[in-house]
Amino acid sequence: MSMKKSSFHYFKLLKWVASSKKDLVCMPEDVQDVFGYALHLAQAGKKHPQAKPLKGFHGSGVLEVVEDNRGDTYRVVYTVKFQDAVYVLHCFKKKSTQGIATPKSDIDLINIRLRVVEAQWTGGKS
């Protein structure tokens, strides 16, 4: 009797925080495709080649994928920190015309949304 290796793969849930899903569907289709694939890989425990740790979030499992499209730059930020799901924290079009850094207002929003997810995940315990 031969034993077959299971082809079942565990996928984490994908959870959207605040307006992140609405923001993603407003982006160009090519950008949606790249970000959708990156999130799919994250759900499977893998990492998209363009996924990089977001600066300032060391050790928190917060990743960013950047995609350029027709002269604009788009970003999706998500966390793989929690074992139950991949949480999409923010999707946005970079508005700044100078530098590659993520604008402070977006970093602040990502921080707030990450804290909300952490609080929900821990049951509100600090």
Instruction: Note whether 87 and 15 are within 8 A (CB).
Output: yes
Q: Per-residue pLDDT for 1 more than 60? A: no
Instruction: Note whether 46 and 66 are within 8 A (CB).
Output: no
Ordered strands of the 13-16 beta sheet? 13-16, 85-93, 72-79, 62-69, 51-53
pTM, 2 dp: 0.88
**54-110 tens-digit pLDDT:** 998 877 799 999 999 999 999 999 999 998 899 999 999 987 666 778 889 999 999
